[in-house]
Structure 1
Amino acid sequence: MDALTEATAEAIAQQHWGLRARARALPSHSDRNFLLRGEDGARFVLKLAHPSWSFADIDLENQAMLALAAREPALGCPRVHPARDGAYLLALPVAGETRLVRLLDFVPGETYAEVIGTLGSRRRAALHDSLGRAVGRLTRGLAGFTHPAAAREHDWNLMRLSEALRELEHLADAELRALVRRHAEAFCPQIPAWRVSLPIQVLHNDANDRNVIVDAAGDTPRVSAIIDFGDTCTSFRLADLAIACAYALQYEDDPLACARRIVAGYLAEQPLLRRELAALHAFILARLCQSILMATRAAREQPGNDFAFVSQAGVRRLLQRLSDVDGTTLVEPFLESARD
């Protein structure tokens, strides 16, 4: 019998946060999350981390969200609530094991993936601009932020793409395997030089179409929040923009026009060096390759984890479409005004 029940979540919320609320379990692959509705109607999420997570890893997420709330309040991200003792993260005995527990605001809205297909061309273009601006604020808000765990060796860090290349032999589709090899092996040898020449900072590292929350009410849809800081790490500043593009472009008949709108929105909030812009196309291709390689690994190690494959059709299709596009085409309108 599962001891992590809704009644358990309600008891934890009341004892440690003084919150009287009704709980409802939320779907999650490894953590246990509960939606809490307070007596006044306010909604929260109680998150009980899987025992494999370290205190430092979860504290990194919390501190990044707290920094963004203070520096970029217009961005929107889950607000972390201190417990009665003032701590933002508690180690509690739950169901016979220690769980790291925290309380966040519930972020209302629909995901980018849910909304984008419902929009006409004008509203879609507005959302592309808003996405770029939101990710620009994300970059700007985390600039200078430090945390001991941010230097962790994260599998989804593009700096470590070469380690994912071992999955190539397990990629069954020969044509796709050749495409991934071509772009990943072109990217990886440049990483040492980029470590010297490109800005590096703490990143969200996962602004994908299911972590971007959209307010679609009204005439102009906008990104209202970015959630899920579980992949936060130190990497190339450029990577968050590349990641956002890699997922948003999958929905478009004209991915280059979409990318330019996202980049324009981003640059309105956060300037990039000319050499960063010049590398953006390669970074987008690298993230697509990384997604395919990581999904290939998940297929071997976690065959029941359907979430790992949720974006794969779009990722593979976009990789094929962008493969033979000249690297400067995407950013050509912005290069003249950029400076190194």
Structure 2
Amino acid sequence: MKLLAIQAAGDLAGQHWQVRGTIKPLPSYADQNFLIRSSDGDFVLKLANAGWSHADLDLENQAMMLLARSEPGYAWPRVQTAVDGRHILSVDIDGERRQLRLLSYVPGRTYADAVAGLPRAQRSALQASLGRAVACMNRGLAALHHPAAQRAQEWNLLNLPALLDEVVHIGDAPLREMVGRHATAFCAALPSLAGRLPLCVLHNDANDLNVIVGEQAEVTAVIDFGDMCTGFRLAELAIACTYAMQHEEDPVECAQHILRGYLSQGELLPAERESLHAFIVARLCHSILMATRALRQQPDNPHILVSQDGVRALLRKLDSVPAGELLMAATEIPSE
């Protein structure tokens, strides 16, 4: 992939959006992102990887624009319209056609940074605010209909059966048995779940680095819409729980606070509540199997397993937790 120079990025932002200021690169997994600090505010210029289609990026932008209208209390990234009225531009980078967008920069700390060192009462309040934000995101995206939302997405829990062949490659025998048991059970239940649980368009990646926390230790936004897909509505809540729980000595209580926050803003069917434990465990298995596959493909890459310690530790804890414990506190946990 050809890289865009910092000066050239600044020139493009000025030419197409009339945004000028100091500019610096931001870390990104697959794209090129630049932070622009200007007198009119802070923005992120996003040069998409050549593998992203226009439809993929339009799905993300439509989701952010819908949330900005329907859930304005949150600081979702705001899509910026260029001077010609478009919100996705096709530009030539050294002979390669690439797609360019400008979004507002969302200030704050990631959930992973913000939760560290908080006293118990504030942690509980932060967890509840995470649940509220996820419920509002589910509610806002419920009205989104976009053909690209039907795309295959490897992190969609509906695709977990495609990873079952990786179970045999897990080196740790007890972990292999645990993942195999839970993943196989979830996959066997998928036809029944698909008939009973609602599906909708999902953000699908409310992890502890994509959830943004403001100065009052409350979730203010969720960023990075690159993993969007159509899947189980419950998956949005399960994913948020999966990452937040890894920061806690008592992960069950954490999930209970998140669930309580969710239910203060959104609804879950009884079958969804009963399935929450299974969905969290399935997401953990999904993560382990994805990492197992990646390690087989890149055996010399030491970074693949960096985030796996927390995932595996949480799965071991939840393996001995009765599923009903996650539901006990939606109404029973006293306010902090």
**Does the pair score TM above 0.5?**
yes
Aligned to 1:187: 186
Kept in 1, the 8 Å contact 2:257–2:330? The answer is: no
- Which residue of 266, 270, 277 corresponds with 2:266? 270
The within-5 A match list for 1:117-266 is 117-215=116-214, 217-218=215-216, 221-266=217-262
Kept in 2, the 8 Å contact 1:274–1:335? The answer is: no
Q: Alignment length, in residue pairs?
A: 332
RMSD of equivalent CA atoms: 1.8
Give the SS at the match of 1:118. Answer: coil
Gaps of 5+ in 2: none
Give the SS at the match of 2:246. Answer: helix
Aligned to 2:279: 283
Q: What amino acid is the match of 1:251?
A: H
Query: Cα–Cα, structure 1 residues 334 and 222, in superposed 2: closer, same or farther, change >3 Å?
Result: closer
Q: What amino acid is the match of 2:29?
A: H
- Which residue of 295, 310, 317 corresponds with 1:314? 310
Give the SS at the match of 1:329. Answer: helix
Kept in 1, the 8 Å contact 2:260–2:331? The answer is: no
Q: By how many angstroms is 1:176 displaced?
A: 1.3
CA distance in 2, matches of 1:304, 1:47: 30
- Percent identity, aligned pairs only, is 52
Gaps of 5+ in 1: none
Kept in 2, the 8 Å contact 1:13–1:21? The answer is: no
Q: Is 1:74 the equivalent of 2:73?
A: yes
CA distance in 2, matches of 1:92, 1:2: 12
Q: What amino acid is the match of 1:279?
A: S
CA distance in 1, matches of 2:162, 2:193: 17
Aligned to 1:103: 102
CA distance in 2, matches of 1:191, 1:270: 24
Query: Cα–Cα, structure 1 residues 80 and 289, in superposed 2: closer, same or farther, change >3 Å?
Result: same
Query: Cα–Cα, structure 1 residues 119 and 286, in superposed 2: closer, same or farther, change >3 Å?
Result: same
Q: Is 1:87 the equivalent of 2:86?
A: yes
Q: What amino acid is the match of 2:25?
A: A
Show CA shifts across 1:287-336 (max 9, x none).
00001111122223356766654431111000000012111111134499
Q: By how many angstroms is 1:164 displaced?
A: 1.4
CA distance in 2, matches of 1:294, 1:305: 14
Q: By how many angstroms is 1:67 displaced?
A: 0.5
CA distance in 1, matches of 2:29, 2:312: 23
CA distance in 1, matches of 2:168, 2:313: 20
- TM, length-normalised to structure 1: 0.93
Query: Cα–Cα, structure 1 residues 251 and 76, in superposed 2: closer, same or farther, change >3 Å?
Result: same
